[in-house]
Amino acid sequence: MPTIALQESQQRSSSCYRGGRHAITTFAFVLAASICGGLAQNTAQVSLIGPSQVRLGGYAQYGANVGGATTPVVWSVNGFPGGTNSTGLISTAGMYSPASTIWAGHSVTISTTTVSEPVSSASMRVMVLNPLPILASGLITQTRSANSYSLVIQGSGFVSTSQLQSAGVNVSTVFISFAELQGTISIPPGTTSVTVGVVNPNAEQKVPASMTLPVQTGTSSASLAALSCSSASITGTGSSACVVTLTTAAGSGGINLSLASSNAAVIVPAAVVVPANATSAVFTANVSSVLSAQVATITASGAGSSRSFALQLNAATPTLTISPSSVPFGNTTMNTPSTQPVILTSTGTAPVIVTSAALSGVGFTMSGATFPVTLNPGLAVTLDVQFDPTVSGAATGDLSIKSNSSVNGTAVVSLSGTGVSHQVALSWDAPAMSTVPILSYNTYRLTSGSSAYQLLHSSAAPQTTYVDSTVQTDVTYNYIVTSIDSTGEESAPSNEVTATIP
């Protein structure tokens, strides 16, 4: 059999890439290939908008602009969609609240990623700061030493590293709670008032939060000065550490203070004892869940006075947030599955129970979770939704999610995609000068990364075309064709034609 030699030329059209047309000099053997399929998409640029700082206990709102259009996005904190209890949580609308366990002065990375294909993303570093301290009241009381005074400051926004100042000078500071600081200061005789201040580190606080307090001279028996608790509001069940504070240190026998709660959902001890030579004592208020918002008043009485603290009780509410609300897969090549995440996050104040998730629509499948599943507040589970079209054309479906969420107990995520078929069409001219009848043709294919051609198809003469519909996106293929004569002898191969699938 004579050797087959090919010459190659290339041409392009708006819808197809056409490989070379190859002429066999001896057999006038011509092989041509064309590749047809979907057009490539442009990647939309994402810009992220929002503050570069956020305070512990506060919130920061972020937004995403995707080429000026409204496009569904997934928000992440330090690479975790929706955030975590240790990084802080971010809602589907881009509202971020830092976790209380983050050290002030450290940073987190807020990211946003488009849901549609092709994926585009943006991120920014956000500095986490301490809250700014707020002073509400204070007390300066002389102790048993002539120039030594006890300083008690009440307010909010205090942290364990807050620094008390007296007349602009740092003094020894004891952190009692987020609402109270204590210290001991030295005041020259004859001083009637002192300006005191509080500075929180890593708060970018330009000046101390300050107030001027009168100096109470003369030692006297201790009396009840203040009652405060670490939490002013509790949702569901929980507990709050509370502290009673005296005007001065208790005497040798200590001071017994009685405790009471106005609400049966809040249980406190019957009494608490401030030990001898101490100025404060701590007790715990245990809280049971309530069905509606209520206020409980905790009262401490003794040493000639009483003090109260109002504790807000909130009902626990299960809430399920689903992101994104729709999943557009766009153009998806047949035999090349595309997968996108759907994130279910418990954003309420009580555990949410997801009872089921059901899919409808041809070509859509789901994996990633077994139902029912219980998500405590702040936790999330990811469903991997896959689109693997078996036919070309548009397809739609729904992902229906049922839960005990207080909002939208049955949520529906719309699914859409378009199946696109890629194929390589081969054609050749029958040898014109062969003296031996041609019985059939063999088509061989070499896939990028392989080292040997594999027989792809055999066709009986006079068929001189073949369509390879098993190609995949982003893969390069090489093709050759041989002829089989009536004696069963196979010719030398034609030159290669190369096709790269977009």
HEC profile of 448-474: CCCCCCEEEEEEECCCCEEEECCCCCC
Residue 32, pLDDT score: 55
Mean pLDDT of the residues in the chain? 84
Q: Which residues contact 432 (CB under 8 A, 6 or more apart)?
A: 27, 28
- Quote the CA–CA distance of 360 and 196 in Å, as a whole number: 67
Q: Which domains does the chain have, with CATH numbers?
A: 11-37+422-500 (2.60.40.10), 46-129 (2.60.40.10), 134-216 (2.60.40.10), 224-314 (2.60.40.10), 320-420 (2.60.40.10)
Buried b (16+ CB within 10 A) or exposed e, 396-427: ebebebbbbbbeeeebebebbbbbbbbbbbbe
Residue 145, pLDDT score: 64
- Quote the CA–CA distance of 166 and 145 in Å, as a whole number: 18
Contact 434, 455 (CB under 8 A): no
- Quote the CA–CA distance of 366 and 383 in Å, as a whole number: 7
- Quote the CA–CA distance of 231 and 286 in Å, as a whole number: 11
Instruction: For the chain, list residues with pLDDT below 50.
Output: 1-30, 35-41
Contact 415, 327 (CB under 8 A): yes
Residue 450, pLDDT score: 87
In 3D, which of 76, 95, 82 has the Cα closest to residue 381? 82
User: In one letter, which amino acid is 189?
Assistant: P
Q: Full-prediction pTM beyond 0.85?
A: no
Which contacts of 447-454 are long-range, i.e. CB under 8 A and separated by 24 or more positions? 447/475, 447/476, 447/477, 448/475, 448/476, 448/477, 453/478, 453/480
Strand 338-346 versus strand 326-333 pairing type:
unpaired
Q: Virtual CA dihedral for 47, 53, 59, 62, nearest 10 degrees?
A: 0
Residue 10, pLDDT score: 29
Specify the residue for token string 């048993």: 144
Q: How does DSSP classify residue 492?
A: P
Beta bridge partners of 55: 129
Residue 195, pLDDT score: 94
Q: How does DSSP classify residue 117?
A: S
Residue 308, pLDDT score: 92
Strand 393-403 versus strand 352-360 pairing type:
antiparallel
Residue 125, pLDDT score: 95
Burial of 152 by CB count in 10 Å (0-12 exposed, 13-18 middle, 19+ buried)?
buried
Residue 359, pLDDT score: 94
